[in-house]
């Protein structure tokens, strides 16, 4: 029937349009040869292209959803794919985004906030599955400001009433350490600097646990502590060759950004290790400093539990006991070190190392910047008489008003001259 | 004359400083055991009968072991004072109609007054005491209190005038008269042993209050005529004015509303607000002083031991929010009283969101045992 069609086999012009399992075909009615075939999938509006259409586009589900929400959902999916998250995370994150969008405050928010919301939903999903994703990473991927991110994150957690578990430090250590490019020799990494991944991971984990126990992690950003711990672990595995390498150089070699607080975390960790070294019999004689203690980190970590117990004591409980002893012995020559709570040791100073320092967060160990005097007890009742003179000190005299107006006018004139009309 | 039954909220019992002007009257901090109540009650009654003739009301916040020590107002005496004060208030300037009574706790409003009396009656009967006289006595006082508590300071002033020879009071009157009448209508809670209290008193750091000057203001004129004012309409639509004593800052809007911040106590905030109103008056505007209300109070204190914030967020998940990547402190949203606490690893605690001083004290007393649980971690 259609004009101009010949069957290639028998040359007949009797071609019939038929469909075989909903696939449209042009068939010769004489010999049954299939001349042309259509595409099995549905085609989009212009049939010339014969493109496939995804399920979500062929159904009407997106007609109900606003365009900005669709964009946001696409961004959520893209972010999950970039982070290589499992597919179940994607669905959960999308569900959170849709849930958030039901609130009018979110629908009316600025685009910047909606963009950051994408990151928040993905972060919440990861946290709930104990997937170690830091806010810094998400902000870097979204080119977002951490302040904006934090505001939106706190708001959405409250709005959706979600229970978000804390960041899992052990998993973060594993992920973060694996990102260090030190496990294979390369042009930038000398062979002496290459390290075995498993050894470094286990040592870093131990160091992070030690930091956690000695109050170096609570209240601080987690990543700089892990950077410092990784550096120390790496150095201690081959100290002879690696002591000369600084933290900044290490991060550059490993192709990892150096977070700013990492150097102070490093110093704090080293001072903790030094205190522990003072309690280890064969290290007491060595008079270690912050550089040489690195060589003995292996030993220190092996006995870390007992050492921490011996080197530090509960700061508060023993402080009172220590103070009492101090008072009792204040006449004696036994002054000891000038610590707030002196030791309760009976042995003379020379033989024993320094008295155990209190196990406190660094912010409590530092002396207060300024001692706030207790506020004077004020006897204000709120209904005292207010003298006129007191009020008049705040008012301008007529002369002052005139001068002020003149000055303002002059300033206005100067401004209008400088700004070309 | 039998002593009126008094109940002290735990916070007030343990503090040797000022009580809040508006202590929550029917607050009981958890159901007390019956026997404890009984013995304390007997103690209390014995002391009551012994001190029946003491006239001078001393500070009610002496040692918790002797709760009633200074707290024995002659009921007739105080009632007359109240009536006198009532007239004073009524006569004062017609502010009465525009006074905002929203600060009063719900139990004291007219509708639930009967309920509160009944409840207090039931509590008292549980103790095995027949308190019918006292509850009846307390009922008329409730009404007085409702009106008498409008301005705590005027009340205290009248009381200080009424008891001029009160040599025993070591602190000026603001706290005593307010607490006594309110105490008399509330059921008694058992005295808590000294060891349970924290001994730490949060210091108030900032009070935010609002007041309505009730007249339209010309902000340009104010900025021109006042030395201590700054006005930048492109940045913010209000005049920012500061005074030196008490050291505070005020935002004055053209509608006549004003926000006063920076004061360290409720009275200072009120005085400062009055000074700002007076400055505006002197500039020629018919400013009044309506609806003074304290909107927010911030306090801080130090428990002096480190706190394991990660542990706290695990055990009190539904109230706490701890994100070390964002903020070093733990944000604890207490439900009763509705206060937000910022808890830091060093043991410093910031309490905010209170409308009354007692809420801050109560919140701290609630959080202290929780924090102590994380001391030895």
Query: Is pLDDT at B171 greater than 70 in this prediction?
Result: no
The answer to which of A43-52, B127-136, B316-325 has the lowest mean pLDDT is B127-136
Looking only at the bridges linking them, the beta strands covering B257-263 and B290-302 are unpaired
Classify A143 in phi/psi space as left (phi over 0), alpha (psi -120 to 50) or beta. Answer: left
Identify the band that residue B52 occupies on the pLDDT scale cut at 50, 70 and 90: low
Q: What pLDDT does residue A139 have? A: 95
Q: What values do phi and psi take at A378, rounded to 5?
A: -95, 145
Q: Which tens digits make up the pLDDT trace of B9-44?
A: 444 444 444 444 444 444 444 444 455 556 666 666
Does residue B248 or residue A316 have the better pLDDT?
A: B248
Give the Cα separation of A308 and B346 in Å (integer): 20
Distance from CA of A183 to the nearest CA of B (A): 28
Give the Cα separation of A121 and A78 in Å (integer): 13
Element holding B34 (H helix, E strand): helix B34-50
Q: Which tens digits make up the pLDDT trace of A344-373?
A: 444 444 445 556 778 889 988 887 777 777
In chain B, which residues have their Cβ closer than 8 Å to the Cβ of A215?
Answer: 306, 345
Torsion A130-A135-A137-A139 (CA) sign:
positive
Give the Cα separation of A100 and A94 in Å (integer): 10
- Say if the Cβ atoms of A167 and B325 lie within 8 Å: yes
Token pair of A232 as six digits: 């120390």
Give the Cα separation of A56 and A54 in Å (integer): 6
Are A175 and A132 within 8 A, CB to CB? yes
B324 closest CB neighbour out of A153, A220, A314: A220
Identify the band that residue A51 occupies on the pLDDT scale cut at 50, 70 and 90: low
User: In Å, how far are A56, B29, B31, B126 from B35, measured between CA atoms?
Assistant: 70, 17, 12, 11
Are B354 and B340 within 8 A, CB to CB? no
Identify the band that residue A107 occupies on the pLDDT scale cut at 50, 70 and 90: very high
**Maximum Cα–Cα distance across chain B:** 69
- Say if the Cβ atoms of A166 and B328 lie within 8 Å: no
Are B58 and B69 within 8 A, CB to CB? yes
Identify the band that residue B71 occupies on the pLDDT scale cut at 50, 70 and 90: very low
In chain B, which residues have their Cβ closer than 8 Å to the Cβ of A396?
Answer: 224-227
The arithmetic mean of pLDDT across residues A62-66, rounded, is: 82
Torsion A30-A34-A36-A41 (CA) sign:
positive
Does residue B76 or residue A62 have the better pLDDT?
A: A62
Give the Cα separation of B301 and B201 in Å (integer): 7
- Say if the Cβ atoms of A379 and B172 lie within 8 Å: yes
Query: Is pLDDT at B131 greater than 90 in this prediction?
Result: no
Q: What values do phi and psi take at B26, rounded to 5?
A: -105, 30
Are B30 and B369 within 8 A, CB to CB? no
Q: How far is CA B267 from the centre of its chain?
A: 11
Torsion of CA A304, A307, A308, A309, to 10 degrees: 130
Match 């949060």 to its residue by tokens: B202
Identify the band that residue A324 occupies on the pLDDT scale cut at 50, 70 and 90: low
In chain B, which residues have their Cβ closer than 8 Å to the Cβ of A383?
Answer: 151, 153-154, 157, 270-271
Query: Is pLDDT at B207 greater than 80 in this prediction?
Result: yes
Query: Number of residue pairs across A and B with CB atoms under 8 Å?
Result: 131
Are A404 and B224 within 8 A, CB to CB? yes
Across all residues in chain A, what is the average pLDDT?
84
Q: What values do phi and psi take at A386, rounded to 5?
A: -110, 115
- Could you tell me which of B118, B123, B126 has the C-alpha nearest to residue B142? B118
Token pair of A119 as six digits: 């990151």
The arithmetic mean of pLDDT across residues B106-125, rounded, is: 49
Q: What values do phi and psi take at B263, rounded to 5?
A: -75, 155
A218 closest CB neighbour out of B227, B323, B345: B345
Nearest residue of chain A to residue B222 (CA atoms): A395
Token pair of B279 as six digits: 């400055």
Identify the band that residue B161 occupies on the pLDDT scale cut at 50, 70 and 90: very low
- Could you tell me which of B331, B376, B325 has the C-alpha nearest to residue A225? B325
The arithmetic mean of pLDDT across residues A303-328, rounded, is: 64
**Maximum Cα–Cα distance across chain A:** 125
DSSP one-letter code for A333: S
Peptide bond into B246 cis (omega under 30): yes
Nearest residue of chain B to residue A217 (CA atoms): B324
Nearest residue of chain B to residue A364 (CA atoms): B346
Residue A109: other Cβ atoms inside 10 A: 19
Residue A87: other Cβ atoms inside 10 A: 9
Query: Is pLDDT at B108 greater than 60 in this prediction?
Result: no
Task: Tell whether A153 lies on the interface with B, counting CB pairs under 8 A.
Answer: yes
Q: Which tens digits make up the pLDDT trace of B297-320?
A: 999 999 999 999 999 999 999 999
Query: Is pLDDT at B240 greater than 50 in this prediction?
Result: yes
- Say if the Cβ atoms of B275 and A390 lie within 8 Å: yes
Identify the band that residue A210 occupies on the pLDDT scale cut at 50, 70 and 90: very high
In chain A, which residues have their Cβ closer than 8 Å to the Cβ of B340?
Answer: none
B226 closest CB neighbour out of A217, A379, A396: A396
Chain B contacts in chain A segment 83-142 (CB below 8 A): 134-136
Q: What pLDDT does residue A414 have? A: 93
Torsion of CA B331, B335, B339, B344, to 10 degrees: -30
Give the Cα separation of A299 and A281 in Å (integer): 11
Q: Which tens digits make up the pLDDT trace of A27-44?
A: 888 888 888 776 655 555
Q: What pLDDT does residue A22 have? A: 66
The arithmetic mean of pLDDT across residues B191-199, rounded, is: 62
Identify the band that residue A284 occupies on the pLDDT scale cut at 50, 70 and 90: confident
Find the radius of gyration of the CA atoms of chain B: 23
- The predicted model scores a pTM of 0.66
Sort A382 into a burial class: Cβ within 10 Å, 0-12 / 13-18 / 19+.
buried
Residue B357: other Cβ atoms inside 10 A: 26
Q: Which residues share a beta bridge with A389?
A: none
Match 């000022």 to its residue by tokens: B18
Q: What pLDDT does residue A60 have? A: 74
Give the Cα separation of A300 and B284 in Å (integer): 77
A221 closest CB neighbour out of B228, B324, B346: B324
Does residue A166 or residue B145 have the better pLDDT?
A: A166
Query: Is pLDDT at B75 greater than 60 in this prediction?
Result: no
Task: Tell whether A220 lies on the interface with B, counting CB pairs under 8 A.
Answer: yes
Q: What pLDDT does residue A367 have? A: 79
Distance from CA of A351 to the nearest CA of B (A): 30
Query: Is pLDDT at A166 greater than 50 in this prediction?
Result: yes
The arithmetic mean of pLDDT across residues B246-275, rounded, is: 95
Query: Is pLDDT at B182 greater than 70 in this prediction?
Result: no
DSSP one-letter code for B307: -
Q: What pLDDT does residue B74 have? A: 46
Does residue A312 or residue B327 have the better pLDDT?
A: B327
Classify A180 in phi/psi space as left (phi over 0), alpha (psi -120 to 50) or beta. Answer: beta
Q: What pLDDT does residue A40 have? A: 58
B157 closest CB neighbour out of A217, A381, A391: A381
Q: Which tens digits make up the pLDDT trace of A136-151?
A: 999 999 999 999 999 9
Q: What pLDDT does residue B297 have? A: 97
User: In Å, how far are A148, A178, B356 from B251, measured between CA atoms?
Assistant: 27, 54, 22
B306 closest CB neighbour out of A360, A382, A390: A360
Name B40's Cβ contacts closer than 8 Å, sequence gap at least 6.
Answer: B190, B191
Give the Cα separation of A338 and A340 in Å (integer): 7
Q: What values do phi and psi take at B247, rounded to 5?
A: -70, 100
């Amino acid at each position: 029937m259609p004009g101009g069609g010949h069957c290639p086999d028998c040359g007949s012009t009797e071609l019939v349009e038929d469909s075989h399992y909903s696939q449209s075909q042009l068939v010769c009615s004489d010999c049954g040869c299939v001349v042309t075939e259509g595409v099995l999938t549905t085609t989009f509006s212009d049939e010339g292209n014969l493109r496939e259409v995804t399920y979500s586009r062929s159904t009407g589900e997106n007609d109900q959803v606003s365009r900005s929400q669709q964009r946001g959902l696409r961004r959520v999916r893209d972010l999950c794919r970039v982070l290589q998250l499992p597919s179940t995370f994607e669905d959960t994150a999308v569900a959170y985004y849709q849930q958030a969008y039901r609130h009018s405050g979110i629908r009316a928010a600025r685009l910047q906030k909606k963009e950051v919301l994408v990151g928040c939903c993905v972060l919440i999903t990861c946290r709930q599955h104990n997937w170690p994703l830091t806010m810094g990473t998400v902000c870097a991927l979204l080119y977002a400001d951490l302040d904006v991110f934090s505001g939106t994150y706190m708001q959405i957690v409250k709005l959706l009433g979600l229970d978000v578990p804390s960041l899992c430090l052990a998993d973060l250590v594993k992920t973060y350490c694996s990102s260090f490019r030190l496990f294979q020799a390369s042009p930038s990494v000398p062979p002496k600097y290459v390290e075995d991944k498993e050894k470094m991971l286990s040592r870093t984990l131990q160091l992070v646990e030690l930091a956690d126990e000695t109050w170096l992690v609570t209240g601080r950003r987690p990543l700089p502590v892990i950077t410092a711990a990784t550096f120390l672990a790496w150095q201690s595995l081959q100290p002879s060759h690696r002591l000369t390498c600084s933290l900044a150089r290490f991060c550059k070699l490993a192709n990892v950004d150096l977070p700013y607080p990492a150097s102070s975390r490093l110093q704090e960790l080293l001072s903790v290790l030094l205190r522990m070294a003072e309690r280890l019999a064969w290290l007491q004689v060595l008079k270690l400093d912050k550089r040489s203690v690195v060589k003995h980190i292996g030993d220190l970590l092996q006995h870390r539990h007992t050492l921490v117990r011996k080197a530090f004591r509960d700061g508060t409980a023993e402080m009172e006991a220590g103070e009492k002893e101090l008072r009792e012995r204040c006449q004696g020559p036994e002054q000891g070190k000038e610590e707030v709570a002196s030791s309760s040791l009976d042995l003379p100073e020379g033989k024993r190392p320094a008295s155990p320092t209190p196990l406190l967060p660094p912010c409590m160990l530092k002396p207060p910047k300024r001692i706030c005097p207790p506020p004077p007890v004020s006897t204000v009742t709120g209904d005292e008489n207010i003298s006129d003179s007191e009020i008049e000190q705040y008012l301008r005299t007529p002369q002052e008003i005139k001068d002020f107006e003149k000055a303002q006018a002059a300033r206005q004139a100067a401004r209008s001259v400088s700004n070309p009309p | 004359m039998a002593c009126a039954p008094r109940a002290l909220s735990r916070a007030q019992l343990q503090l040797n400083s000022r009580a809040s002007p508006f202590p929550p009257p029917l607050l009981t901090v958890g159901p007390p055991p019956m026997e404890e109540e009984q013995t304390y009650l007997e103690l209390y009654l014995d002391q009551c009968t012994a001190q029946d003739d003491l006239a001078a009301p001393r500070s009610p916040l002496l040692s918790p072991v002797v709760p009633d020590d200074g707290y024995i107002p002659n009921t007739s005496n105080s009632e007359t004072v109240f009536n006198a004060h009532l007239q004073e208030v009524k006569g004062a300037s017609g502010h009465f109609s525009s006074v905002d009574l929203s600060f009063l706790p719900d139990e004291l409003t007219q509708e639930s007054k009967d309920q509160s009396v009944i409840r207090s009656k039931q509590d008292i009967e549980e103790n095995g005491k027949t308190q019918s006289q006292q509850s009846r006595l307390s009922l008329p006082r409730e009404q007085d209190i409702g009106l008498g508590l409008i301005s705590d300071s005027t009340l205290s002033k009248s009381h200080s005038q009424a008891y001029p020879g009160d040599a025993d009071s070591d602190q000026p009157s603001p706290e005593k008269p307010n607490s006594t009448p309110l105490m008399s209508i509330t059921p008694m809670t058992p005295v808590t042993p000294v060891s349970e209290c924290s001994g730490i008193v949060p210091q108030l750091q900032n009070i935010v209050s609002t007041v309505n000057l009730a007249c339209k203001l010309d902000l340009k004129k104010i900025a021109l005529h006042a030395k201590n004012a700054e006005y930048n309409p492109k940045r913010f639509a209000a005049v920012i004015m500061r005074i030196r004593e008490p050291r505070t800052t005020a935002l004055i809007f053209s509608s006549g509303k004003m926000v006063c911040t920076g004061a360290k106590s409720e009275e200072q905030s009120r005085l400062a607000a009055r000074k700002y109103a007076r400055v505006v008056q002197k500039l020629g505007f018919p400013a009044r002083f309506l609806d003074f209300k304290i909107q927010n109070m911030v306090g801080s204190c130090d428990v002096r031991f480190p706190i394991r914030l990660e542990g706290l967020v695990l055990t009190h998940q539904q109230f706490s929010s701890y994100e070390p990547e964002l903020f070093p402190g733990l944000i604890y949203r207490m439900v009763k009283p509705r206060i937000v606490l910022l808890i830091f690893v060093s043991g410093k605690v910031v309490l905010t969101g209170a409308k009354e001083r007692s809420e801050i004290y109560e919140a701290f007393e609630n959080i202290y045992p929780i924090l102590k649980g994380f001391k030895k971690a």
